[in-house]
Chains A and B, each alone.
Chain A
Amino acid sequence: MTPGFSYRRAASIKDAVTGISEGNGRILAGGTDLLGCLRDSVFTTNMVVSITGIKELKRIDETPGGGLSIGALATITEISESPVIRERYPALAQAAAEVASPQLRNQGTIGGNLCQKPRCWYYRGEFHCLRKGGDRCYAVAGENHYHCIFGGNGCYIVHPSDTAPALIVYGAEATIAGPAGMRKVSLENFFVPPAKEVTKETVLEAGEIVTAIVLPPPLAGLKSSYRKIRSRQSWDFALAGVALALRTSNGRVTDARIVLSGAAPVPWRLVDAENALIGKVPDPDSAKYTAALSVKDAQPLKHNAYKIPLFKGLIEEEVVNISQA
């Protein structure tokens, strides 16, 4: 029922890069997202290149400087269960544990999670929308309950990944291999907003693949968490999610990172709200203030205004929780 394509299993990263460089090749990692897209005719491909045989992508290694390097094929389960990640990057472990369902977490990889396609039901359905190369966005005047309140511009998806916001609060970087060699891109700049290009979700160019995610060593004393709200308790994307990282000194906030999921076409960093927290005592009042500030620029669509009080409540609750943790 899927359209015809050739299949090959790459022996090395270089082999994979060559494989997808011809025509419109696609990388297959866990396949949990790719196969659904092909079956639902979201896009087609003439070549599927499996990277599952490339051993060096299956790993979670500590780096010499005290950071961590996660191979693109590390599964979501491995990330949620890794003792190092749980201890040093708890927001990432929590985010991974909130992804989809146990089966999907066992099968899905971190590389695939970051490169997965959006979940807008028009995009996934029989609608030739803007992001698929069509001439209109159906979400604007349609059933936009689950669409974005920030950063919409022509297209109103929310970024589907739970792990991305958590990685961003830690300043993670993606290592990318391509026809022109290797490059590194901070995850914060990895995702492409529709304002820039509406048919693209990541900065990956033709023939490029993600090989690893590199996390710098965590700041001493950093507290971090990821919390996700959904309408069903498992197997459901975020209605709203927040990855939070705070560091305090003498009771006052010195560093803050707030990155949202379920809010915008890309993981949504709230720089104003972060700045507003700095220098404050992270008490219920400043939590409330930060939360209110967080949603002040929200631009809801017809059916998703609920996300404003939802994010407000979520951020306020999480800032209080983390400062009490």
Chain B
Amino acid sequence: MNESERNIYYLRGIPVPETPPPGKDPAPWKKTDIVGTSIPRVDAYERVSGTARYPSDIHLPRMLYAAVLRCPHPHAEVMNVDTSAAEGMPGVRAVISGITSDTDFAWWYSKEIKTKIFDPLCRFEGEEVAAVAAETAYQAWDAVRAITVEYKVLPFIAEESKSLDSSSPLLHPNGNTAKTDKYSRGDVGAGFSEADIVLDETYRTECELHMPMELHGCVASWDNDRLTIWESAQGVYSIQSRIAEILGLPLSKVRVIGHYMGGGFGSKLQPGKYTVIAALLAKKTGRPVRLFLTREETFLAVGNRPPATMQLKAGVKKDGTLTALEFSCIATGGAYPANGTGLVDWLVRDLYLCPNVKTETKDVYINAGPSRPFRAPGHPQAAWALEQMMDALAEQIGMDPIELRLKNIPSFSQGREGNPPYTTTGLRECLSEGAKAFGWEQARKYSSGSKENGHVKRGVGVASALWFAGGGNPPSTAVVKLFSDGSVNLNMGASDIGTGTKTVMTMIVSEELGVKPEMVQIEYADTATTQYATPSGGSKTVPTEGPAVRAAALSVKQQLLSFAAADLKTDESSLTLRGDEVISMKDPLVKVKIHDVTGLKKRGVIVGVGYRGPNPERKVVNPFAAQFCEVEVNTMTGEVRIIRFLGCHDSGRVMNRLTYDNQVFGGITMGIGLAMTEARILDRDQTGKMVNRNLHDYKLPTSLDVPKEMKSLPIEKPDDTANTIGAKGLGEPVTIPTAAAVANAVYHAVDVRMMKTPITPLQLCQALEKGGKEGSK
């Protein structure tokens, strides 16, 4: 290899960080060369050109197509299934249902209650009743239609507010309460009596659906007793363990391959019944089976953000001190225990300084699809309540809403036992720096005084947030291999769910080894060939995997230096890696090219293994946020237009500004969906069926619904206590405060409080008629 060829592998002259002695934690990065720059995704070309193979692109030789028959009623007992006609149809290779002997496997949404893959009691519309595998998808669907099922239709519950009525049917023998959680600190009674102002309001957020671009599903294939699954998933190991448990297989016999995937937002952290059904049909037919759901099915059966009705009572003193918060929430995770109230009180417990807090949350059953975690579970709901309440309190005491928030910023987590401090909190800067960048003070005045716009009023709003997780945690194992030509292979089990994980991990390897990003090849998300990783969710992928990858790269570097020390007959601590050579820091003439290092030449590869170390003890790692927006409200028609948004986030070190801003804008867009357009609608008074199960009636925001002006302002405080890369999570905090910020801006514009999502002319028109800002009608 000549000199110029070798240069393509290395960034010439890049000083890579100091190498710690073996077994020692590396020092935090000071100045970085690759980390923190804006580099396009390492797999951008594959994604954009269409060469990236997603699980839904997998087509295996002799593959069959599966389709699922689902219960059309929200609550019904399957009395009989007649599959004889379907079985005789052209192309049909297998039909399974609750009455075929090979489907008797347990299923659970959470472990408290087990059902079956085809349970005779269907508790939500869309529960699985039978499935077909056929030569083509059309034949499979034709056969599904030919199956006749006798249902005994049962009374249903479509609203969580009716779940506990004595006249309501019971969904499970122990009653309709899935769980009740209580929390209390201090004395809220005393807190309220200390307060100058006490407000008590009821807020509601509607049920929101994940709707990732790629549908849910998989391809399953057996090779004797070994099952391979290509699934659109957020984590391959979580699919592997669940499927192995259900089918009673050793982990080693279940291989799950993820690779590219088209979005999940929490709904693909786990396998679905579809995964099991595909495996069963593949077993029965002895052929690979592809089972991807239709869009309509994903509206019913693969999770949601639970609808929540929240009551919040808050007390504040005239000087802005919060004295008490009392919160109660009734929400529903659907027809099975699915954590419908998970974390829904967390912001109330933790976001602002408040000595007296009491919360009670109740998760109840209704006849609708079980929820799954949805981008920052519980938090956007709570923000909708708490952040509107903060606004209302500020108004009552005549204080700017930002000032009120700044008065109540905690440095430790009050919601956790022992009040552990946060490793870092940038909440103050998010609010104050954000306010500056947004032009808050001016906009606030200008908007309130904007009478010249006639009946179209402007308003600005703010909301802040923290995210319960986002610190990452063990376990994670990463492997970095340095080949004898100096190129690098990174092997890790985590999935890149579209957030840019592969890109960020490449940058870490690149930073440590000085190798160009394009010389790093990643193997990932395959239980057979890559290391154990928890699923990508909780905004923890970068802070979890990043340190493990850095450790693996460091291990490679240490081994390389020690091999080179032997060649150069010097002490390895005097050596450093620079470009494509190992060089002595004392004597620049003492050096050796990487490809000449004897130890590497002999072995052909240096393998470094890195593990994720523990988090700091008795400290909490959380990201923080504040978002600002400006809206225009037409007081005659109730139309709201969002003019601009600013997302100001503290997620520690910015690993890559491009993928960082992608998250901020994506999170805001999703938050606008919650605020403005999205809601699952059930035919509550007649059939209990979902009426808007298509992308036209269930309204995801379009590009015209998000403002032209979207800005991201990172508050970059590398969090060196949190982990060895100084980064905290970002993917979820970005969507927490958005909806509340919009509601606050609407209030500022027209003095009408939006207690419920979504903010549409449907509710705004009538509210405005009842009375908004003076002179607005």
| Contact between A232 and B701, CB atoms less than 8 A apart | yes
Q: Is A15 an interface residue (CB 8 A)?
A: no
A and B contact pairs by CB, cutoff 8 A, 9 listed: A101-B702, A141-B686, A142-B685, A143-B682, A145-B681, A145-B762, A231-B760, A234-B703, A240-B761
Known A232-B699, A236-B699, A239-B761; contact A125-B768, beta-carbon cutoff 8 A: no
User: Nearest Cβ in chain B — how far from A240, in angstroms?
Assistant: 8
Looking across the interface, which residue of chain A has its beta carbon closest to that of B296? A40
Known A1-B138, A229-B639; contact A309-B693, beta-carbon cutoff 8 A: no
Which residues of the partner chain B approach A141 to less than 8 Å between Cβ atoms?
Answer: 685-686
Which residues of B691-720 are within 8 A (CB) of A? 691-694, 696-697, 699, 701-705
| Contact between B681 and A143, CB atoms less than 8 A apart | yes
Known A121-B691, A126-B72; contact A313-B765, beta-carbon cutoff 8 A: yes
Which residues of the partner chain A approach B702 to less than 8 Å between Cβ atoms?
Answer: 101, 232-235
User: Nearest Cβ in chain B — how far from A112, in angstroms?
Assistant: 16
Task: A141 to B138: give the CA distance in the assembly, Å.
Answer: 36
Task: A222 to B758: give the CA distance in the assembly, Å.
Answer: 39
Task: A71 to B528: give the CA distance in the assembly, Å.
Answer: 61
Which residues of the partner chain A approach B696 to less than 8 Å between Cβ atoms?
Answer: 235-236
User: Nearest Cβ in chain A — how far from B644, in angstroms?
Assistant: 16
Task: A309 to B636: give the CA distance in the assembly, Å.
Answer: 8
Q: Is A188 an interface residue (CB 8 A)?
A: no
Where chain A touches its partner, the secondary structure class is: loop
How does the 8 Å CB contact mask read for B735-777 relative to A, with 1 for contact and 0 for none? 0000000000000000000000010111101101100000000
A1, A122, A305, A313 — which one has the most chain B CB atoms within 10 A of its CB? Answer: A313
Which residues of the partner chain A approach B619 to less than 8 Å between Cβ atoms?
Answer: none
Known A229-B639, A231-B761, A232-B701; contact A127-B766, beta-carbon cutoff 8 A: no
| Contact between A232 and B705, CB atoms less than 8 A apart | yes
Looking across the interface, which residue of chain B has its beta carbon closest to that of A314? B637
Known A142-B686, A232-B705; contact A313-B637, beta-carbon cutoff 8 A: yes
Which residues of the partner chain B approach A142 to less than 8 Å between Cβ atoms?
Answer: 683, 685-686, 691
Q: Is A54 an interface residue (CB 8 A)?
A: no
Which residues of the partner chain A approach B704 to less than 8 Å between Cβ atoms?
Answer: 233-234
Q: Is A7 an interface residue (CB 8 A)?
A: no
User: Nearest Cβ in chain B — how far from A147, in angstroms?
Assistant: 12
Task: A313 to B767: give the CA distance in the assembly, Å.
Answer: 13
Q: Is B689 an interface residue (CB 8 A)?
A: yes
| Contact between A310 and B701, CB atoms less than 8 A apart | no
Known A121-B697, A125-B689; contact A233-B705, beta-carbon cutoff 8 A: yes
Which residues of the partner chain B approach A126 to less than 8 Å between Cβ atoms?
Answer: 72, 689
User: Nearest Cβ in chain A — how far from B144, in angstroms?
Assistant: 10
| Contact between B765 and A306, CB atoms less than 8 A apart | yes
Partner of A121, one of B639, B692, B699, B703: B692
| Contact between B703 and A143, CB atoms less than 8 A apart | no
Task: A126 to B137: give the CA distance in the assembly, Å.
Answer: 21
Q: Is A283 an interface residue (CB 8 A)?
A: no
| Contact between B763 and A306, CB atoms less than 8 A apart | yes
Interface residue count on the B side (C-beta < 8 Å): 42
| Contact between B138 and A317, CB atoms less than 8 A apart | no
| Closest 4 A/B residue pairs (Cβ) | A313-B636, A233-B704, A231-B760, A121-B691
Task: A127 to B635: give the CA distance in the assembly, Å.
Answer: 37
Q: Is B141 an interface residue (CB 8 A)?
A: yes
Task: A235 to B768: give the CA distance in the assembly, Å.
Answer: 26
User: Nearest Cβ in chain A — how far from B481, in angstroms?
Assistant: 46
Residues of B within 8 A of A (CB): 72, 137-138, 141, 455, 634-639, 676-677, 681-687, 689, 691-694, 696-697, 699, 701-705, 758, 760-763, 765-766, 768-769
How does the 8 Å CB contact mask read for A4-40 relative to B, with 1 for contact and 0 for none? 0000000000000000000000000000000000000
| Contact between A317 and B636, CB atoms less than 8 A apart | yes
Q: Is A173 an interface residue (CB 8 A)?
A: no
Task: A147 to B689: give the CA distance in the assembly, Å.
Answer: 18
Known: A138-B683, A232-B676, A233-B704. 15 other contacts (CB 8 A): A126-B72, A127-B689, A141-B685, A141-B686, A142-B691, A143-B691, A229-B639, A231-B758, A231-B762, A232-B705, A233-B705, A240-B761, A306-B762, A313-B634, A317-B455
Known A126-B689, A143-B681, A233-B705; contact A309-B762, beta-carbon cutoff 8 A: no
Task: A138 to B697: give the CA distance in the assembly, Å.
Answer: 17
Q: Is A316 an interface residue (CB 8 A)?
A: yes
| Contact between B693 and A125, CB atoms less than 8 A apart | yes
How does the 8 Å CB contact mask read for A117-161 relative to B, with 1 for contact and 0 for none? 000011011110000000000100111010000000000000000
Where chain B touches its partner, the secondary structure class is: loop
Give the interface size class of chain A. 20 to 34
| Contact between B761 and A229, CB atoms less than 8 A apart | yes
User: Nearest Cβ in chain B — how far from A287, in angstroms?
Assistant: 10
User: Nearest Cβ in chain B — how far from A128, in angstroms?
Assistant: 11
Partner of A317, one of B637, B694, B701: B637
User: Nearest Cβ in chain B — how far from A280, in angstroms?
Assistant: 20
User: Nearest Cβ in chain B — how far from A319, in angstroms?
Assistant: 11
Looking across the interface, which residue of chain A has its beta carbon closest to that of B72? A126
How does the 8 Å CB contact mask read for A82-101 relative to B, with 1 for contact and 0 for none? 00000000000000000001
Known A1-B141, A145-B762, A231-B762; contact A309-B689, beta-carbon cutoff 8 A: no
Which residues of the partner chain B approach A145 to less than 8 Å between Cβ atoms?
Answer: 681, 762
Known A141-B686, A239-B761; contact A310-B699, beta-carbon cutoff 8 A: no
Task: A314 to B634: give the CA distance in the assembly, Å.
Answer: 10
Partner of A309, one of B72, B705, B765: B765
Looking across the interface, which residue of chain B has its beta carbon closest to that of A232? B699
Task: A121 to B141: give the CA distance in the assembly, Å.
Answer: 23
Which residues of the partner chain B approach A122 to less than 8 Å between Cβ atoms?
Answer: 683, 691
Which residues of the partner chain B approach A233 to less than 8 Å between Cβ atoms?
Answer: 702, 704-705
B138, B687, B768 — which one has the most chain A CB atoms within 10 A of its CB? Answer: B687
User: Nearest Cβ in chain B — how far from A73, in angstroms?
Assistant: 24
User: Nearest Cβ in chain B — how far from A149, in angstroms?
Assistant: 13
Which residues of A234-262 are within 8 A (CB) of B? 234-236, 239-240
Which residues of the partner chain A approach B677 to less than 8 Å between Cβ atoms?
Answer: 231-232
Which residues of the partner chain A approach B72 to less than 8 Å between Cβ atoms?
Answer: 126
Which residues of the partner chain B approach A234 to less than 8 Å between Cβ atoms?
Answer: 702-705
Partner of B766, one of A101, A229, A309: A309
| Contact between B683 and A309, CB atoms less than 8 A apart | no
| Contact between A127 and B761, CB atoms less than 8 A apart | no
Which residues of the partner chain B approach A235 to less than 8 Å between Cβ atoms?
Answer: 696, 702
Which residues of the partner chain B approach A121 to less than 8 Å between Cβ atoms?
Answer: 691-692, 697
Which residues of the partner chain A approach B455 to less than 8 Å between Cβ atoms?
Answer: 317
Task: A142 to B510: give the CA distance in the assembly, Å.
Answer: 59
Looking across the interface, which residue of chain A has its beta carbon closest to that of B766? A306
Task: A145 to B762: give the CA distance in the assembly, Å.
Answer: 8
Which residues of the partner chain A approach B636 to less than 8 Å between Cβ atoms?
Answer: 313-314, 316-317
User: Nearest Cβ in chain A — how far from B85, in angstroms?
Assistant: 16
| Contact between B681 and A310, CB atoms less than 8 A apart | no
Which residues of the partner chain A approach B141 to less than 8 Å between Cβ atoms?
Answer: 1
Which residues of the partner chain A approach B758 to less than 8 Å between Cβ atoms?
Answer: 231
Partner of A305, one of B137, B682, B766: B766
Task: A125 to B684: give the CA distance in the assembly, Å.
Answer: 15
Looking across the interface, which residue of chain A has its beta carbon closest to that of B137? A1
Task: A234 to B677: give the CA distance in the assembly, Å.
Answer: 12
Task: A1 to B768: give the CA distance in the assembly, Å.
Answer: 46
User: Nearest Cβ in chain A — how far from B244, in angstroms?
Assistant: 34
Partner of A143, one of B637, B639, B683: B683
Task: A141 to B766: give the CA distance in the assembly, Å.
Answer: 21
Which residues of A52-88 are within 8 A (CB) of B? none
Which residues of the partner chain B approach A124 to less than 8 Å between Cβ atoms?
Answer: 694
B683, B691, B694 — which one has the most chain A CB atoms within 10 A of its CB? Answer: B691
A127, A141, A240, A309 — which one has the most chain B CB atoms within 10 A of its CB? Answer: A309
Which residues of the partner chain A approach B639 to less than 8 Å between Cβ atoms?
Answer: 229
Looking across the interface, which residue of chain B has its beta carbon closest to that of A1? B141
How does the 8 Å CB contact mask read for A274-287 relative to B, with 1 for contact and 0 for none? 00000000000000
User: Nearest Cβ in chain B — how far from A113, in angstroms?
Assistant: 16
Which residues of the partner chain A approach B138 to less than 8 Å between Cβ atoms?
Answer: 1
User: Nearest Cβ in chain A — how far from B581, in angstroms?
Assistant: 56
